[in-house]
Structure 1
Amino acid sequence: MGVVFGGAVAMIYIGLLVFSLALSVVILVAYYKLFEKAGEAGWKAIIPFYSALVMSKIATGKKTLGAIWIAVYSVFMMFYMGFYSRQMMMALNSSHMSASGAASMMISALFIFLLSIGAAVLTGILMFKFAKSYGKSEGWCVAMIFLSGILIIAMGFDNELKYVGPNGIPSSDQYGVNNYDNNNNYYNY
């Protein structure tokens, strides 16, 4: 009975892994297409951290938001990894913890929590502005904060979606292409 249950659990995990990998590939393809629609090379969407800088440039016209996100996320990961490795070492070395060790652990945990909130807020702002740069409505932009994976796929595979400009404001882009037509319609109908 236990072998059958263990096999079923393993199959579920393998199924979830395959599904997650397939979904990740589809999301990367959608980002690739969105970067190309904004006049950037699609390969830039695949490179970790660099893609955040380019996404920030697409969304806001500057790389600043992406650089801040990278900094906050990197510090978060360093503290997170350090916190848990220190916690494991303390668990292996002793069965009790001193008061100063406990206080240090609490301060580290609080700092990690605050960094995670900062990273989440910055991610939300970046997603909101990214959707706005493609002319999406306020409601869609708010939904991007919570459902970005699904909505990125919808945007990436929408053949009629056009890049409007940083912050959703039509302007001449980096290549000098004016997004306005003769009637000042920025969707170029």
Structure 2
Amino acid sequence: MILFVVAYFAYIIAMVVATWKIYEKAGQPGWAAIIPFYNIYILLKIVGKPAWWLLLLCIPVVNIVFGIWTYNILSKSFGKDELTTLLMFIFGIGILQLGFGDAQYQGPYGDPIAFQAYSGEHTFDFEQTAM
């Protein structure tokens, strides 16, 4: 039992450190990884999704769908594929791969130019900047 508890805490610490490194690779403060709710907000910034998705991630069952979607966008933002998404969602190994591996942040969806073009055309009125 003690061995299980020690292994579990080691896994949790590794996940926190890997998430911290992912945030830093994406140009965000690493300490944001340990602040509840704020860490999700920063993750949504990294993957290029609006802040109101945080509400969707708080709704039971809906959060599973949007959580997988967010992980998929995160893996693509680091140039990885759906296997990394699967590893993130099922085992958490994908988080370790992104944090400790050689993956480099390439912008939301992995293509910042295409993302800027898309997001410029597909915004809500309240997201428009005042001129």
The answer to whether the superposition gives a TM-score over 0.5 is: yes
Tell me which structure has the larger Cα radius of gyration: 1
Q: Taking every aligned residue pair, what percent have the same amino acid on both sides?
A: 33
The normalised TM-score by structure 1 is 0.55
Q: Please give the alpha-carbon distance, in whole angstroms, between the structure 2 residues aligned to 1:16 and 1:143.
A: 21
Change (3 A) 1:60 1:142: farther
Equivalent in the alignment of 2:127: none
Candidates 40, 43, 46, aligned match of 1:52: 40
Candidates 71, 75, 78, aligned match of 1:134: 78
Equivalent in the alignment of 1:125: 69
Pairs within 5 Å for 1:94-173:
115=60, 117-147=61-91, 149-158=92-101, 160-171=102-113
Equivalent in the alignment of 1:26: 14
Residue 140 of structure 1 and its aligned partner are, at CA, apart by 2.6
Q: Please give the alpha-carbon distance, in whole angstroms, between the structure 2 residues aligned to 1:23 and 1:153.
A: 10
The normalised TM-score by structure 2 is 0.76
In the alignment, residue 127 of structure 1 is paired with which amino acid? Y
In the alignment, residue 151 of structure 1 is paired with which amino acid? G
**Runs of 4+ deviating beyond 4 Å:** none
SS of the aligned residue for 2:47 comes to: helix
Unaligned runs of 5+ in 1: 1-11, 73-114, 172-189
Pairs within 5 Å for 1:33-112:
33-69=21-57, 71-72=58-59
The question of whether the paired residues in 2 share the 8 Å contact of 1:53 and 1:67 is answered with no
Residue 152 of structure 1 and its aligned partner are, at CA, apart by 0.5
Matched residues, number:
115
Residue 18 of structure 1 and its aligned partner are, at CA, apart by 1.5
In the alignment, residue 136 of structure 1 is paired with which amino acid? K
Q: Please give the alpha-carbon distance, in whole angstroms, between the structure 2 residues aligned to 1:67 and 1:165.
A: 23
Q: Please give the alpha-carbon distance, in whole angstroms, between the structure 2 residues aligned to 1:168 and 1:35.
A: 15
Unaligned runs of 5+ in 2: 114-131
Change (3 A) 1:120 1:36: same
